């Protein structure tokens, strides 16, 4: 059940905070809701919106200049499961990173609204840096011999990305084209690829074929790929000569 205006969020949020011992007042100096526990001077500012938007996020950051504790409240609309503003796990993590709180309100036709506190103001982020992913990213960056992709085009239909794995496969294809059938050891010596045997056996792109035990040759699709990505091989060979 979608709300028509953000003011519909006020009463359930007010009731929730009053149950937590707060005194609540609405529309205080442009803040949708301000709450304070009796005998304390620590303000809680709450901003209400029908959906999570960049404007709401910026408003929350602006409110942090007034008070240390700021809560964003949005409707959880069950009919918009695929919407960007329904990715509450990621949104709550973003709020944690900024020091904001986040709460959702779900409205029903026949029962009272349900409130869910996703994070308190000032909660620490749940997801820290992931060293394993950082290592993989660093390895991928270092193993690429050059910049052969256009940033922002990764999901463009029909576009082939030049990855470190594809570069290794191209080097093996070049060696097989230039020297004929070779063993993995021979390919390693010519290309510097650390594990050409696994790459040849996997044959992810369908470029290689086994001639005999431990010896591989290049197939026509591999020759086509070499022609298409000649600049990659030329750049790699030039750097090899300069080293």
What is the pTM for the complete model shown?
A: 0.68
- Give the model confidence (pLDDT) of 122-155 as tens digits: 988 887 777 888 888 898 888 888 888 877 766 6
Burial call 185-206: b when 16+ CB within 10 Å, e when fewer: ebbbebbebeebeebbeeeebe
Please tell me the distance from the alpha carbon of residue 8 to that of residue 13, in angstroms, as a whole number: 9
The residue-averaged pLDDT of 51-57 equals 92
The dihedral of CA 75, 78, 84, 88: what is its sign? positive
DSSP class of residue 21? T
Please tell me the distance from the alpha carbon of residue 99 to that of residue 137, in angstroms, as a whole number: 28
Tokens 């949020």 sit on residue: 13
- Give the model confidence (pLDDT) of 203-221 as tens digits: 999 999 999 999 999 999 9
How is 192-235 classified by DSSP, letter by letter?
Answer: --S-HHHHHHH-TTS-EEEEETTEEEE-HHHHHHHHHTHHHHHH
The residue-averaged pLDDT of 172-186 equals 94
Query: Does the pLDDT value for residue 72 go beyond 70?
Result: yes
**Residue 138 phi, psi (nearest 5):** -65, -40
The residue-averaged pLDDT of 39-65 equals 93
Structural domains in the chain, CATH included, are: 6-119 (3.40.1350.60), 145-242 (1.10.10.10)
Query: Does the pLDDT value for residue 41 go beyond 80?
Result: yes
């Amino acid at each position: 059940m979608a709300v028509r205006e953000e003011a519909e969020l006020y009463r359930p949020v007010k009731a929730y905070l009053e149950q937590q011992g707060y005194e609540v007042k609405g529309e205080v100096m442009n803040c949708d809701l301000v709450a304070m526990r009796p005998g304390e001077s620590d303000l809680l500012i709450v901003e209400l919106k029908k959906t999570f938007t960049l404007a709401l996020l910026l408003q929350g950051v602006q409110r942090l200049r007034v008070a240390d504790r700021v809560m964003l409240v949005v409707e959880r609309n069950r009919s918009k499961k695929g919407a960007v503003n329904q990715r509450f796990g990621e949104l709550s993590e973003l709020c944690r990173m900024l020091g904001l709180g986040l709460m959702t309100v779900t409205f029903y036709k026949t029962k009272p609204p349900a409130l869910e506190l996703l994070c308190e103001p000032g909660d620490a982020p749940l997801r820290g840096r992931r060293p394993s992913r950082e290592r993989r990213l660093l390895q991928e960056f270092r193993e690429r011999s050059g910049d052969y992709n256009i940033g922002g085009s990764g999901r463009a239909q029909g576009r082939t990305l030049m990855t470190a794995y594809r570069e290794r496969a191209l080097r093996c294809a070049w060696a097989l084209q230039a020297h004929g059938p070779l063993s993995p050891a021979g390919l390693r010596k010519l290309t510097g690829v650390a594990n050409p045997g696994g790459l040849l056996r996997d044959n992810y792109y369908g470029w290689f074929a086994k001639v005999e035990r431990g010896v591989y040759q290049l197939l026509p699709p591999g020759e086509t790929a070499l022609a298409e990505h000649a600049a990659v091989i030329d750049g790699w060979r030039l750097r090899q000569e300069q080293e």
